[in-house]
Amino acid sequence: MNINGISFENFRVFKDKSDFELAPITILTGANSSGKTTIIKGLKLFQSFWKQDGFGDLLNFENGNHQLGNFEMTLSKHSEKKELIVQYKINHFLLDSLYVELIFEQDNGNPLKNGILKESSIISKDELTIFQVHLRDQKSKEDRDIYSGYNTKYIIEVLIPKLKELRSEYKSFQKKMSENSENHEDFAVIDIRQECLKNDIDPDRYCELMDLLEFENANNYFKPNISNFLDSDNDSVFTVEIFKLFSQISYSEDTLFAKELYELLCEKYPETPERFDYAAFKEFIDKENIGSWANKFLLDSEQSLESLLKEQNTFPFFYGTVHRLDGFATHKFYNPLVCEKANNDEKIWWDDIFSDAKKIAQEIRNDKSEFTVDTVVTTVKRLLENITYKSIKSTFASMYFINAIRANSQRFYSFDLRDADFNLFITDFLKRSYTEKEKAFLKKWIQEFEIADDYSIELIDGAGTQVFLIKDEEKINLVDLGYGVTQLLPVLLKIAYCNNIGKHIIVIEEPETNLHPKFQSKIADLLVDARKTLNMRFIIETHSEYLIRKLQYLTAKGELKTEDTILYYIGNPDVRKREDGEEQIIEIRILKEGQLSQPFGSGFTDESLRWLKAMFTCNLN
């Protein structure tokens, strides 16, 4: 799963929050020094950030080949803020849209003036915070527990019931296909998409559910298995009303907790006083010698209080140890559904709380069932982590950058020129073994661009390589062809290479460099074919009107859907240098008939018309 959008705030020319949706083909165009390159530099910076192991927090500027300088230099010159904010949009059918927000500040303890992650949040589309953690409050990575910042109440009341619904839907699909399968023994190895179509099941929907509920478990992302607890017959694990009841008790001493709980039970279940008074209730908790801990509590006239307490499989609140800064420790009840912070002079040690919860649950139930609230909720937290943070990591790991200057014109590419991008690439390219599909794709587009019939890369005694184009059975060295070919051939080679190494998001700066207008428009055909044949996604920085016009044509022709392409025209950051009312960032969609959803900013498609009009007027005079 890929991220579907990214936004920057207080990042170079983008003073205010600037959103960029990401389509299979995303086009960045506009004025010089407007911010197109800033977006690409930002992607390079955050690719380096997401390479860190685990939940990294360092925003290093030494890596990434973006030449941004340091943290201070990336901040907008027109803002007094000292924070850089980036937000990622993730579309997922479990929650529709999620936003992961990272807030960075300068790491004053680092002489390189790098950045450090100050705060991270997961936010729903209706702006509800699902997760938030202030990393600067956690003194060391050893103490860090990103799970502690989750909104447990939201997980229990919204996510778990939703997961149960999705599990039921998925099982109904499986049952339908199993009943209609001709060979039940081979059901596990059938062509899933074809079987879905035969049974009138949306194959995309089925595969989404399968990825969520099955494949991720096979990779051991979740323990316990998410499908197992969703299939549990013990629906008391997911009873919402009782969680709502307990969520009203936030943070209190032992005695106050028992009193508050008793009062809430009396209010919720009027028959409570008839069965036992407060003294009996308090005496029972103390007599059971379970450390004044109580488990989930449902009043049922057919069951005794004691048997009910010992029978239930959930543990909605924890009796935690609070370590005071003065060295003393006290014991208080803490309800994770409320997610309240401790007082300023106190710190809750989450490991103690969760450890206690597991021991308590086992003692009360006298069994080893894995489906306590803490294990179920932690499982869903890990699910959210996969949907969000691991999804972002995966997206950036799959991203490959092709710079504006792609190759120097040389007869011989030496292995010793380690600072030359193309020299390094040719070495890596030759290390790979390419599929017939990749070879066919490469050969096709060498011919489509009328470069040659084929290509050949030859090693010279282990010292370097020579690149030849084969035309009419004649070998021509790359240096003997035009500079446009020198810039285009690396693009073609790198698309095949990226497919081979599993990178499917390619960011290309100015692919039209030194190309004739005819071939600038043909780049659009190349992108569409790479999308369909190799499942590539592209982010393209370009000044080529011909490329954009061809994308419009391909959409009108039906080879592209309207959602396949998005254009961003980025105007001058200085509002005084833009037309009246013109926004800095204009989002443009290509409609079904090929029209643009709105016009470009000034100085792009209108430039040729302006001079034609001026020429006509001049001739009249």
pLDDT tens-place string over residues 128-174: 888 777 765 554 555 445 555 777 777 777 887 788 788 888 889 98
Output the six-digit token pair for 1: 């799963």
Burial class (CB in 10 A: 0-12, 13-18, 19+), 235: exposed
392-402 tens-digit pLDDT: 998 999 999 99
**What residues does 254 pair with on adjacent strands?**
none
Please give the pLDDT value at position 312. Answer: 40
Residue 582 identity:
E
Please state the rounded mean pLDDT for residues 518-542: 95
Please give the pLDDT value at position 158. Answer: 80
The answer to whether the CB of 533 falls within 8 A of the CB of 543 is no
The answer to whether the CB of 262 falls within 8 A of the CB of 278 is yes
Distance from C-alpha of 249 to C-alpha of 97, rounded to nearest angstrom: 31
Element (H, E) at 494: helix 483-501
pLDDT exceeds 80 at position 102: yes
Counted residue by residue, the chain has a size of 621
User: Predicted confidence band at 339 (pLDDT cuts at 50, 70, 90)?
Assistant: very low
Nearest C-alpha neighbor of 318 from the set 304, 339, 345, 303: 339
The answer to whether the CB of 32 falls within 8 A of the CB of 85 is no
Output the six-digit token pair for 385: 């982590």
- State what percent of residues in the chain have pLDDT above 90: 31
Distance from C-alpha of 7 to C-alpha of 20, rounded to nearest angstrom: 6
Of 101-115, 177-191, 321-335, which one has max mean pLDDT? 101-115
Task: Say which residue the tokens 């801990």 belong to.
Answer: 293
Please give the pLDDT value at position 555. Answer: 95
Please give the pLDDT value at position 552. Answer: 93
Nearest C-alpha neighbor of 275 from the set 308, 318, 316, 236: 308
Distance from C-alpha of 143 to C-alpha of 133, rounded to nearest angstrom: 13
What phi, psi does 401 have (nearest 5°)? -110, 130
Please give the pLDDT value at position 276. Answer: 66
pLDDT exceeds 90 at position 379: no
Please give the pLDDT value at position 290. Answer: 32
Task: Say which residue the tokens 């960075």 belong to.
Answer: 104
Nearest C-alpha neighbor of 236 from the set 309, 166, 334, 320: 309
Please state the rounded mean pLDDT for residues 13-20: 93
Burial class (CB in 10 A: 0-12, 13-18, 19+), 304: exposed
Please state the rounded mean pLDDT for residues 533-556: 94
In the 8-state DSSP scheme, what is residue 389?
I
Please state the rounded mean pLDDT for residues 360-379: 50
The sign one gets for the Cα dihedral 112, 15, 585, 101 is positive
Stronger pLDDT, 201 or 373, i.e. the higher one:
201
Output the six-digit token pair for 284: 């029972």
Distance from C-alpha of 239 to C-alpha of 104, rounded to nearest angstrom: 39
Element (H, E) at 6: strand 5-9
Please state the rounded mean pLDDT for residues 468-488: 89
pLDDT exceeds 70 at position 433: yes
In the 8-state DSSP scheme, what is residue 340?
P
Output the six-digit token pair for 317: 């609140």
Of 104-113, 184-193, 339-348, which one has max mean pLDDT? 104-113
- Three-state SS for 539? strand
Q: Of 12-26, 138-152, 456-470, 531-545, which gets the smallest average pLDDT? A: 138-152
pLDDT exceeds 90 at position 295: no
User: Predicted confidence band at 111 (pLDDT cuts at 50, 70, 90)?
Assistant: confident
pLDDT exceeds 80 at position 247: no
Nearest C-alpha neighbor of 573 from the set 10, 2, 179: 10
Task: Say which residue the tokens 């930002």 belong to.
Answer: 42
Please give the pLDDT value at position 128. Answer: 82
Stronger pLDDT, 329 or 299, i.e. the higher one:
329
Stronger pLDDT, 339 or 46, i.e. the higher one:
46
Q: What is the CA radius of gyration of the chain?
A: 30
31-69 tens-digit pLDDT: 877 788 999 999 999 999 999 877 678 899 988 888 899
The answer to whether the CB of 550 falls within 8 A of the CB of 522 is yes
Distance of CA 416 to the CA centre of its chain: 38
Output the six-digit token pair for 199: 């049974």
The answer to whether the CB of 305 falls within 8 A of the CB of 284 is yes
Stronger pLDDT, 593 or 319, i.e. the higher one:
593
Element (H, E) at 103: strand 96-106
Output the six-digit token pair for 604: 């792009």
pLDDT exceeds 80 at position 202: yes
Output the six-digit token pair for 91: 């579309």
Q: Which residues contact 314 (CB under 8 A, 6 or more apart)?
A: 236, 237, 295, 296, 371, 372, 373, 376
Nearest C-alpha neighbor of 523 from the set 502, 534, 504, 538: 538
The answer to whether the CB of 398 falls within 8 A of the CB of 503 is yes
The answer to whether the CB of 126 falls within 8 A of the CB of 113 is no
Give one DSSP letter per residue of 221-285, joined into a string.
-SSS-HHHHHT-S-GGGG-HHHHHHHTT--EE-HHHHHHHHHHHHHHH-TTHHHH--HHHHHHHH
Nearest C-alpha neighbor of 398 from the set 38, 47, 143: 47
Q: Of 176-185, 406-415, 497-506, which gets the smallest average pLDDT? A: 176-185
